[in-house]
A = this chain, B = another copy of it.
Amino acid sequence: MSAEPSASPSRTGVWLIGARGSVATTAMTGCAAVAAGLYPVTGLVTETEPFAASGLPALSSLVFGGHDTVDCPLPKRAETLAAAGVLPHGLPSAVRGELTATDGEIRPGVPLPGDTRSEDALIDTLVGDIRDFTRRQGLARTVVVNVASTEPAPEGAALPASSLYAAAALRAGCPYINFTPSAGLHHPALAAEALAAALPYAGRDGKTGQTLLRSVLGPMFAQRALRVLAWSGTNLLGGGDGAALADPAAAAAKNSGKERVLADTLGTVPQGEVHIDDVPALGDWKTAWDHIAFDGFLGTRMVLQTTWQGCDSALAAPLVLDLVRLLARADERGLTGPRPELAFYFKDPDPGAPAALGEQYAALLDFGRRLGDPR
């Protein structure tokens, strides 16, 4: 977390798209806090025993920077999150030094209003920002992570912002993670470039709550040969994501991931809708209600309901840190292309991954072992 440059090859850059958002701020603040021993490693899968020998970069070796279109200083952003109960009280001041240093590494995002530059010119600027960060900080490599607000499904030929950043990651030679349902590297215009780049990447759309549950409940119904008729869900959340997803176009991208896990684990698409409501009063606290109507033996109708009350940023942040560490190590070991081994973390994972969380976890453990294998 040090902001001082160093020649150590073991320091890894983390370049966050949406660097002043709740998820990014929680990830950076939490990384500093856990690295300093102020908090336990709860929620960090890469800190569990099976990954001890995987050769992952230490939390203390991560150096943060990123792009954002807003300019609220990070220490102030962290205070706001603490006031809302997303971060523990007192934590922002305890890691103020690290936050201030990181704040100096955040560059303006694209496109800013009135910006008339071409797509290539925009991408070049982004590439320059990332390369400059990596060079100045003397980093072995920098992993680019999209944690910006969900954007509407792209229309027309223009590259959406998320894909401009993804293109910049490719051109800067950086492993890339899409933690959102936005297009990012999935945009067809980037397909050839992604294939040609000798880089690992993973996505998309972090699996933090309702879909996490679905990825264990769906297999349960399937394994027990129960017949799911309808799976309905309502999500209530405020914060930036609540507002962004109140846009039906943005929600469509998210919901397709939620539906996919049902289709993949149940073998059919049940009846039922998914709603994402913007409830500003809830802030970062998300409540997800699921109602599952299913038939058992002799057609007996039964119902399971779940209510998940979680803090979105606190759920997402450790997954972001996990992914950065895993993908940095994969890059170090020369692994390239999409990494379905990381499906454990995503709603809509790369092709070839299993859909049940248990199998995804087994694949992740196996990946952790491979990362640690002697060459």
Closest B residue to A344 by CB, please name it: B223
Contact of A277 among B86, B232, B314, B357 (CB under 8 A): B232
Q: Which residues of B contact A217 (CB under 8 A)?
A: 216
- A88 CB-CB contact with B under 8 Å: yes
A22 at the A/B interface (Cβ < 8 Å)?
Answer: no
A244: chain B residues within 8 A (beta carbon): none
Once the chains are docked, how many angstroms separate the CA of A91 from the CA of B217? 31
Contact B277 A297 (CB under 8 A): no
Q: Mark A31-51, 1 if CB is under 8 A from B, else 0.
A: 001100001111111011000
Q: Answer whether residue A296 sits at the interface, using C-beta atoms and an 8 A cutoff.
A: yes
Residues of B with C-beta under 8 A to A281: 229-230, 271, 293
Interface flags for A178-219 (1: CB within 8 Å of B; 0: not) read 000000000000000000000000000000000011001101
Q: Determine whether A263 belongs to the interface, using a CB cutoff of 8 Å to chain B.
A: no
Contact of A236 among B30, B47, B230, B309 (CB under 8 A): B230
Closest to A308 in B: B304
Residues on B with beta carbons closer than 8 Å to the beta carbon of A83: 89
The digit string for A283-311, where 1 denotes a CB below 8 A from any CB of B, is 00001010101011111101111111111
Whether a CB of chain B sits under 8 angstroms from the CB of A275 is yes
Cross-chain contact B236 with A42 (CB below 8 angstroms): no
A169: min CB distance to chain B, Å? 25
**In the complex, how many angstroms separate the beta carbon of A251 from the nearest chain B beta carbon?**
13
Query: At the interface, is chain A mostly helix, strand, loop or mixed?
Result: mixed
Q: Which single residue of chain B is at the shortest CB-CB distance from A314? A: B300
The closest CB in chain B to the CB of A44 belongs to B225
Judge whether A318 and B358 touch: CB under 8 Å.
no
- A297 and B220 within 8 A (CB): no
Interface check A26, CB cutoff 8 A: yes
Interface: A77 (CB within 8 A): no
Q: A85: CB under 8 A from chain B?
A: yes
Q: A30-B298, A307-B304, A318-B297 are in contact. Are A232 and B234 (CB under 8 A)?
A: yes
- Quick one: CB contact mask for A71-99 with B, threshold 8 Å, 1 for yes? 00000000000010111110100000000
Chain B residues contacting A230 (CB-CB under 8 Å) are 236, 279, 281-282
Q: State A305–B287 Cα separation when bound (angstroms).
A: 11
Interchain CB contact under 8 A, A302 and B297: no
A297 in complex: contacting residue of B26, B296, B303, CB < 8 Å: B26
Q: Does A43 lie within 8 Å of B236, measured CB to CB?
A: no
Contact of A220 among B273, B303, B314, B357 (CB under 8 A): B357
Interface membership of A359, Cβ < 8 A? yes
Among residues of B, the one whose C-beta sits closest to the C-beta of A284 is B300
In the complex, the answer to whether B311 meets A300 with C-beta atoms within 8 Å is: yes
A111 in contact (CB, < 8 A): no
A279: chain B residues at CB < 8 Å are 230, 232, 271-272, 293
Given known contacts A42-B295, A232-B234, A298-B88, A223 and B271 CB-to-CB distance under 8 angstroms = no
Residue in chain B with minimal CB distance to A43: B297
Given contacts A47-B225, A297-B317, 5 further A-B contacts (CB under 8 A): A213-B304, A219-B358, A230-B236, A234-B234, A271-B280
